[in-house]
Amino acid sequence: MLAPASVSDYRLLAKRKLPRMLFDYLDGGAFSEHTLAENRRAFNQWSFRQRVMADVSQVDTATSLLGAPASLPLVMAPMGLSGMLAKRGEAQAAKAGANAGIPFCLSTVGICSVEEVAREAPNADLWFQLYVLKDRGFSENLLARAWQAGFKTLVFTVDLARLGLRYRDVRNGMNGNLSLPAKVRKALDLVSHPGWLANVAIGGKPLTFGNLASVVPSGRKPEDFKAWVESQFDPSVTWTDLDWIRQHWPGKLVIKGIMEGADALSAVEVGADAVVVSNHGGRQLDGAPASLSVLPAISDAVAGQCQVFVDGGVQSGQDLVRALCLGADGCLMGRPWGYALAAGGQAAVENLLDNIRLETELTLSLMGKTSIAELGRSDVLSLTEVQAMSGKGAS
């Protein structure tokens, strides 16, 4: 079998190894998945300026993310249930991030707890993601646990006032409403993946939501996760309710789920050190624009008052470079490391991240750049600009 060379390769391997319900949960988006597709399409709307005869014998991809050094302008985004993709998946992924020199962000609804991830990856730059929950006391306790374990950056996700409707999850019975024939098909799907059953379902125990073990005892049933989410997400929260976050979190604060300049400025006003321009990977409001498309306006709106990250559709080093040119300080990447984790565990994630580093370095070199600090808007061309250069834009 050929060695995986791209995210598409890892996606194919993950599809083979995972039960359909889990692969679709990882791979899918909301409603018709229009925004999911737009996130990828947006990157292809921008061309690089190729420059030649520059000394690019030494190229540096390193940067600083929220004051901490990183080998790439990249963060491993939080992904719920990623511990169901491989044995103790979040711990494996965190170790891969540490070895690659980039931050790893643990989801509230991970299988591994903050304590386990910190213990297994003691040298990692650990970020923790929290949702807007109704139970403030539970949230405060969870924040204290994360801080004590060694997590120094909090990613507060604000775009889940209600959980998006994901048709793939409905079809696969993640809402718990399965007919008898559907239950039989689900069971057959599970037994047709003996490697996953042996390594994860059996070998990866305990399959509980590590951070939520007291309120969601089982991680084996995604419908339990869905039920807890729907009962706990607080649709009444506004910006004025975020004071309690700063009262109980002494570290860096990142607000994730920003798609408008006005909301980015509101995040700055409540003390955010960074915002993530994000449509939740196309998993929430289908029909929303691609994250990359609104990035320049949001970067202009905050005008350096905080760092600006972007996620949604990021799959390669070339995607990183495009985002940096359009105003991002860094990117969050989710599904690709999930595919790699399912395909081959920590080693595969490390290989993916090494490929992304190489892609970034090569792209910089062929643009005549020696560091990411040299990148700017003038280094990429929109489709309109390319057409104008070729004379097609003339009337």
**Dihedral of CA 363/367/369/373: which sign?**
negative
Which residues have a Cβ under 8 Å from the Cβ of 111 and sit 6 or more positions away? 81, 82, 83, 84, 88, 89, 90, 204, 207, 208, 209, 210, 219
Pick the closest to residue 120 from 76, 147, 88, 144 (CA basis): 88
Tokens 């969870």 locate to: 142
Pick the closest to residue 26 from 16, 14, 37 (CA basis): 14
Q: Hey, which residues does 276 pair with through a beta bridge?
A: 256, 309
Q: How far apart are CA 30 and CA 280, in angstroms?
A: 10
Cβ proximity of 131 and 225 under 8 Å: no
**Structure tokens given for 382:** 């929109």
Q: How far apart are CA 264 and CA 261, in angstroms?
A: 5
Question: Is 34 annotated as catalytic?
Answer: no
What residues act catalytically? 280
